[in-house]
Amino acid sequence: MPFLGQDWRSPGDQWVRTTEGWEKLRLWRLKVFENLNENVVARLIRLALTMDLGPHRQTTERRQPYFFFNKGTSREKKELTSLSEALLRLDMAGAVKDIRRSNFVCKLLQLILENKFANLSGTAQKHIFQILEATINEALRTELNLGWARELLSQAQKGLDQGQNYHIGSQCLWERHHALVCKLSNQVAAYQLKQRDEDNRVTLSDLPADCIRSILYCVADHRDIIHTGQAASKLQDFSQEMLLWRELCQYHFSNRQILTFLPSNVVVGKDEEEDSIDWKNIYKRCYKRFGKKETFADMLAMCTHCCSIYWQSLGHPCISDVEAKSRVLSPEDFIKLFPL
């Protein structure tokens, strides 16, 4: 028989009924704050700049999204951190607007939609689709990561089809997910990329050759290099340079992996022999065999002192006085923290 009273080890949560169903009151308050539109935020900033806050000025500093991760239960503590609470407190929906964190969020969504979505609770499913909707809207607004947007929608539709018969949550909620995916897919399909007007400003093709090479050497995804070469004939020549593909091979793969497909008659270290190697073909074969290295401009981390999970670029208010040490979390490591 369930215990309905308040326990000093786990006092329970207050719930509030919203238009989307019942939600925890403490998370609903945070959700309302995160969902403030840009007009309301701009108005609040203007009011804050015209007011003398005095001793309360420190409250206007940038908020640090983080949460304390409870590893397990004990006799004194019975509360566990859920995935839905983690996604909300880390402001995943707002992170897609930051170009440094958007790729990490997209990869996290891909992993959840691919294998774990049907096992999530109804609240977690709603949070996932709110993040997905924010990702698609941001991609359409900025005209960036449209490839990621199409892949996520395809993966979401596939996950909904696979979990149709054994999902958690009501059938009405599942139908709402289908309707949202259909709506977002239609928006992406109807989107037309806007051509740049003739404004006589400098384009990428107008830059010196050394500048173009330096920019391409900073690109870690081979698809971006190929698409750049398809934009103009001048850029096509730069995207086919073997030195560029050699640097890409050395970045994503180890020497042992590269030697797997390197011709046996080639001596490494001799420039005249290395110049004859088709590094683009070697990269293609290594990519098919080993896959490429995942790179993110910003990642999650777990503090070893207070067990807080936070974004590395934003930090967190650690309770320890000594210098905080942290463990970097990849999207796979973050998902493994929760029993899904």
Contacts 24+ apart (CB under 8 A), 55-64: 62/314, 64/310, 64/311, 64/314, 64/315, 64/316, 64/317
Instruction: Give the list of residues 6+ apart from residue 336 with CB closer than 8 angstroms, or none.
Output: none
Cβ-in-10-Å burial (0-12, 13-18, 19+) of 153 comes to buried
- Angstrom distance (rounded) from CA 234 to CA 219: 18
How is 171-211 classified by DSSP, letter by letter?
Answer: HHHHHHHHHHHHHHHHHHHH--PPPPP------GGGS-HHH
The enclosing H or E element of 273 equals helix 271-274
- Angstrom distance (rounded) from CA 110 to CA 112: 6
Question: In which residue ranges of the chain is pLDDT below 70?
Answer: 1-13, 19-21, 25-63, 71-80, 265-275
Contact present, 168 and 120 (Cβ < 8 Å): yes
190: tokens are 């109807």
183: tokens are 């709506």
Distance of CA 275 to the CA centre of its chain: 38
Distance of CA 233 to the CA centre of its chain: 33
147: tokens are 């490839």
The enclosing H or E element of 323 equals none
pLDDT, tens digit, 9 for 90 and up, residues 275-316 = 678 889 999 999 999 888 888 888 999 988 888 899 988 888
- Angstrom distance (rounded) from CA 206 to CA 217: 18
Nearest CA to 113 out of 80, 66, 71, 148 is that of: 148
Confidence at residue 32, expressed as pLDDT on a 0 to 100 scale: 62
Confidence at residue 77, expressed as pLDDT on a 0 to 100 scale: 56
Beta strands, E only, the chain: 15-18, 21-24, 66-68, 300-303, 308-311, 326-329
pLDDT, tens digit, 9 for 90 and up, residues 85-107 = 888 888 888 888 888 898 999 99
Distance of CA 63 to the CA centre of its chain: 19
Confidence at residue 267, expressed as pLDDT on a 0 to 100 scale: 60
Q: What is the pTM of this model?
A: 0.75
- Angstrom distance (rounded) from CA 20 to CA 30: 15
Confidence at residue 91, expressed as pLDDT on a 0 to 100 scale: 87
**DSSP 8-state secondary structure symbol assigned to residue 56:** G
